[in-house]
Structure 1
Amino acid sequence: MSVSSIIESLEKLIKLHKSFNHLAIRKTALLKANDTEAITALLIQEQKHMKAISQTDKDREVAVADFLRANGKAGQPASIHGVTELTGTVETEKLNQLKAELMEEVANLKERNTLNQQLIYQSLQFINVSLDMFRPRNQNLNYGNSVKKPAKSGITMFDSKA
């Protein structure tokens, strides 16, 4: 088992994450423009990307496990670090470079998602403030005719005959 399948899956993961980052950038613009229909369509694309990333990552894990098994290290965790210990210098450099690039893309995506989350939270706050302005308010909560008086019956709280 060669390292090429691991390298291919890492390259595919990087490509998917870059595409996902472009979607996140588009999402920021759509959130600022308040285009809910386009955001809905974008969310569908994001789910497709997430599914593809998940499948590619599973493929990477299988490739790493197969590589480790083929090299007599079946008990090790399926990580890039475990693979680099068993590869030559050229393959190790390539794997480390791809790993660094993937980590950078994931960090960029995380940063962009944090920004988008803040934009969504601020939009929700604005909506809540706007709704509060339109809701009718009772000005006399404790005074006035709106307070019902208890019906008088023959029994009182204070027994004057006692």
Structure 2
Amino acid sequence: MEKKTQELITIFQAMTALHERFNDKALQKQEAVKKGDIPGLEKVMKEESALIQQLRKLETTRQHAVKTWMEEKGLVKEDITMDALLQFFPEEERKELQHWQQRLVMEIKKLKEQNELNQQLIEESLRFVNISLETVQPQQQFGNYHRPSGKTGEDDDLGSGTRPLFDSKA
């Protein structure tokens, strides 16, 4: 097997392994959200940041490897997809590359679905918190009651000392 081809396969394997770890982290986030474990959620997100950095490095390495391989083969194309490149590999190498490409796509799809579920859980949690806050906050009584003068019950002068509640002369 050609050295550059093996390098691409190794990169796809590493990217797949990283996405498997992302999927594990996504499940940990789900559990943290369900339990309301904010410190646990923060920890998982911090760990994800390190994985993101690793993925960026791998993606840069992958792009460089593909560019170098294309230059060696005399192919000059921009924004070429892996599917388009596969036709230039011998059958055995193509099959292995396709295998790892499919595994990577499967892991990415799984991660996307889990992240969508986590987002729904977080939105549900926020709705619950908002409803809880609304029930705990004191409600303003008669907030929409207005006296004929246009003043609300809170705006009138009763008890303010400017107008007595009872007329003592009566």
Q: Which category of TM-score, normalised to the shorter sequence, fits these structures?
A: 0.7 to 0.9
Indicate whether 1:75 and 2:83 are aligned: no
* Aligned Cα root-mean-square deviation (Å): 1.6
Indicate whether 1:62 and 2:64 are aligned: yes
Q: Which runs of 4+ in 1 moved over 3 A?
A: none
Give the whole-Å Cα distance in 1 for the aligned partners of 2:69 and 2:55. Answer: 21
Whichever residue aligns with residue 4 of structure 1, its letter is: Q
The aligned residue for residue 161 of structure 2 is none
Give the whole-Å Cα distance in 1 for the aligned partners of 2:92 and 2:81. Answer: 18
Give the whole-Å Cα distance in 2 for the aligned partners of 1:115 and 1:74. Answer: 41
Q: Is the 8 A contact 2:4 2:65 kept in 1?
A: no
1:76 shift after superposition = 4.1
Q: Is the 8 A contact 1:3 1:91 kept in 2?
A: yes
The aligned residue for residue 168 of structure 2 is none
The TM-score normalised by the length of structure 2 is: 0.82
The one of 116, 134, 156 aligned to 1:132: 134
Give the whole-Å Cα distance in 1 for the aligned partners of 2:130 and 2:84. Answer: 51
Give the whole-Å Cα distance in 2 for the aligned partners of 1:145 and 1:26. Answer: 52
Q: Secondary structure at the match of 1:113?
A: helix
Stretches of structure 1 that go unaligned for 5 or more consecutive residues are 150-162
Stretches of structure 2 that go unaligned for 5 or more consecutive residues are 147-151, 158-170
Q: Is the 8 A contact 2:12 2:104 kept in 1?
A: yes
The aligned residue for residue 147 of structure 1 is 155
The aligned residue for residue 157 of structure 1 is none
1:93 shift after superposition = 0.3
Whichever residue aligns with residue 127 of structure 1, its letter is: V
The aligned residue for residue 5 of structure 1 is 7
Same amino acid, percent of matched pairs:
24
How many residues get paired? 149
Alignment of 1:5-84 (within 5 A): 5-84=7-86
Q: Which moved more, 1:44-53 or 1:123-132?
A: 44-53
Give the whole-Å Cα distance in 1 for the aligned partners of 2:133 and 2:13. Answer: 48
Give the whole-Å Cα distance in 2 for the aligned partners of 1:62 and 1:148. Answer: 76
Alignment of 1:86-105 (within 5 A): 86-105=88-107
